[in-house]
């Protein structure tokens, strides 16, 4: 039996294989609300053969979005718009659906992801004031953020919890907290971006406090069996920054609290990062190091495009699940093709059963 196509549980949620579609920003919403693009995009990916689809980074407040066109989940309007996408997927697919809840912090108020990077100032209708643990901009041309007060920190924690309640209410299966890629939780974690002198800064324990409080608030806001996972950057790729040792300690604290899984990426905090030459699986050693220290499942990610590579990662227990991102955009039937290559099976919608290739009559579960 294929390792990649073996079942696994995240909390009480059962997955029929180890393929995950990670969050990938679309920059296509209006006032935070999902629309026809999201119907087409997620409806297509829901038929990919993956077991879990995680909806893109979704702002827990208007100011928490990366750009003015980001998806949001903060009120009845954003929840209702997204519920249409969820209900549409449910008509045609049994894929499990997660959502990544995010606050961009100092990396907010930017232009669309495919345009030259720039910030919109608060007086621009597409922009707003950005906030962070400390008044340190993201790069030389970044907007100088306002340092969050303790009251504002508590308010953002409450926004995460409310967004999770809304996600549960519209039928989403699980929540992923965005603690990676230089966004607000990561900004608190890293000593590069967090120069606070109160209980949210200084020692690793203090810098972890905000992320752990977000996790605790979400867990308290949803049913006990509703999985709550997290994505982290295991290293800043900056000397003296957030690193794998601190990531392991953070993962252990989350594990104690009943975290559903940890999704291990790297980088994104600051333009001074010194990343190695990119190659398939370049981030997997970080996932493997964390996996050795926690009970919860670990998702590995990083330019993994070949089914044989993904199969080997699971076989060698470097990670428990594999996130296939850009390769899934390029080939939205990646899961089908992986099953064909590994001698496994997938379940297509009945409308597509006749596409089963000649010579592979056992590919589709009927």
- For residue 323, report the phi and psi dihedrals to the nearest 5 degrees: -90, 125
Task: Tell me if 116 sits within 8 A of 141, measured CB to CB.
Answer: no
What is the DSSP annotation of 213-282?
A: HHHHHHHHHS-TTS-EEEEEES--SSTTSS-HHHHHHHHHHHHHTT---EEEE---S-TT--PPPP-TTT
Residue 261 in contact with residue 215, Cβ under 8 Å?
A: no
Report the distance separating Cα 347 and Cα 94, nearest Å: 9
Average pLDDT, the chain: 96
On whether residue 14 sits in a domain, the answer given is: yes
pLDDT of 121 reads 94
Segment 91-119, tens digit of pLDDT: 999 999 999 999 999 999 999 999 988 99
**pLDDT at position 222, please?**
98
In this structure, of 13-22, 130-139, 214-223, 266-275, the range with the lowest mean pLDDT score is 266-275
Q: Beta partners for 299?
A: 263, 321
DSSP string over 79-98: HHHHHHHHHHHHHH---EEE
Catalytic residues: 183
For residue 363, the model assigns a pLDDT of 93
> What pLDDT, on a 0 to 100 scale, did the predictor assign at position 250?
98
Q: What is the pLDDT of residues 214-259, one digit of tens each?
A: 999 999 999 999 999 999 999 999 999 999 999 999 999 999 999 9
pLDDT of residue 66: 98
Query: Of 22, 17, 15, 14, which is closest to residue 2 (Cα–Cα)?
Result: 17
Asked if residue 258 is part of any domain, the answer here is: yes
Whether 278 maps to a domain, the answer reads yes
User: pLDDT confidence of 365, banded at 50, 70, 90?
Assistant: confident
For the chain, percent helix, then strand, then coil, each to nearest 5? 35, 15, 50
Strands 321-323 and 298-300: parallel
Does 360 reside within a domain? Answer: no
Is the pLDDT at 90 greater than 80? The verdict is: yes
The total number of structural domains in the chain stands at 1
Amino acid 141: pLDDT: 81
In sequence order, the 6+-apart residues with CB closer than 8 A to the CB of 45 are 21, 53, 328, 332
Q: Is the pLDDT of residue 195 over 90?
A: yes
b/e per residue, 32-52, with b = 16+ CB within 10 A?
bbbeeebeebbeebbbbbbbb
The pLDDT score that the predictor gives to residue 139 is: 83
The arithmetic mean of pLDDT across residues 15-28, rounded, is 98
Instruction: Tell me the CA distances in angstroms from 297 to 9, 18, 103, one per residue in order.
Output: 8, 10, 24
Whether 294 has a pLDDT exceeding 90, the answer reads yes
Per residue in 215-234, is it b (16+ CB within 10 Å) or e — as a string? bebbbebbeeebbbbbbbbb
- Tell me, what's the pLDDT at 316? 97
Q: What value does the mean pLDDT take over residues 52-62? A: 98
> Does 361 reside within a domain?
no
The pLDDT-based confidence of 362 (bands split at 50, 70, 90) is: confident
| Banded pLDDT at 167 (limits 50, 70, 90) | very high
Report pLDDT for 275. 87
pLDDT at 271: 84
Residue 99 domain-assigned (yes or no)? yes
304 domain-assigned:
yes
Q: How many residues does the chain have?
A: 366
Residue that has been written with the tokens 């794998």 in this structure: 244
User: Which residue range forms the structural domain that includes residue 40?
Assistant: 8-355
Confidence of residue 276 (pLDDT cuts 50, 70, 90): confident
Percent residues over pLDDT 70 in the chain: 100
Question: Per the domain annotation, does 154 fall within a domain?
Answer: yes
Nearest one of 83, 72, 76 to 33, comparing CA atoms: 72
Give residue 142's pLDDT: 86
Pairwise CA distance, residues 131 & 154, whole Å: 13
pLDDT band at 359 (very low <50, low <70, confident <90, very high): confident
Residue 300 belongs to domain with CATH number: 3.20.20.70
What average pLDDT does this structure show over 330-340? 97
């Amino acid at each position: 039996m294929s390792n990649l196509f073996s079942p696994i549980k995240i909390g009480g949620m059962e997955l029929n294989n180890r393929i995950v579609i990670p969050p990938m920003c679309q920059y296509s919403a209006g006032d935070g609300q999902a629309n026809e693009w999201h119907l087409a995009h997620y409806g297509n990916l829901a038929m990919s053969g993956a077991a879990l689809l995680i909806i893109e980074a979704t702002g827990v407040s208007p100011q928490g979005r990366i750009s003015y066109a980001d998806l949001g989940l903060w009120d009845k309007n954003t929840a209702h718009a997204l519920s249409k996408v969820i209900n549409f997927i449910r008509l045609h697919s049994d894929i499990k659906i997660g959502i990544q809840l995010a606050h961009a912090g100092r990396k907010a108020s930017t232009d669309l992801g495919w345009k030259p990077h720039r910030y919109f100032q608060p007086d621009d209708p597409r922009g707003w004031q950005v906030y962070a643990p400390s008044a340190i901009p993201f790069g030389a041309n970044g907007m100088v953020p306002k340092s969050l007060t303790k009251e504002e920190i508590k308010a953002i924690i409450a926004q995460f919890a409310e967004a999770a309640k809304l996600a549960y209410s519209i039928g989403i299966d699980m929540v992923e907290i965005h603690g990676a890629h230089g966004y607000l939780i990561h900004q608190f974690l890293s000593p590069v971006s967090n120069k606070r002198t109160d209980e949210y800064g200084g020692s690793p324990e203090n810098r972890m406090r905000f992320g752990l409080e977000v996790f605790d608030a979400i867990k308290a806001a949803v049913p006990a069996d509703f999985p709550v996972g997290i994505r982290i950057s295991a290293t800043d790729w900056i000397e003296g920054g957030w690193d794998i040792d601190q990531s392991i300690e953070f993962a252990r604290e989350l594990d104690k609290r009943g975290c559903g899984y940890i999704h291990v990426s790297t980088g994104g905090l600051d333009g001074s990062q010194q990343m190695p030459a990119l190659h398939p699986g370049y981030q997997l050693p970080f996932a493997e190091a964390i996996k050795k220290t926690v009970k919860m499942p670990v998702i590995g990610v990083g330019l993994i495009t070949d089914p044989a590579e993904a199969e080997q990662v699971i076989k060698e227990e470097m990670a428990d699940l594999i996130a296939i991102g850009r390769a899934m955009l390029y080939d939205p039937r990646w899961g089908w093709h992986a099953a064909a290559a590994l001698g496994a099976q997938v379940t297509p919608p009945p409308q597509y059963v006749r596409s089963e290739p000649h010579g592979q009559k056992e590919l589709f579960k009927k």
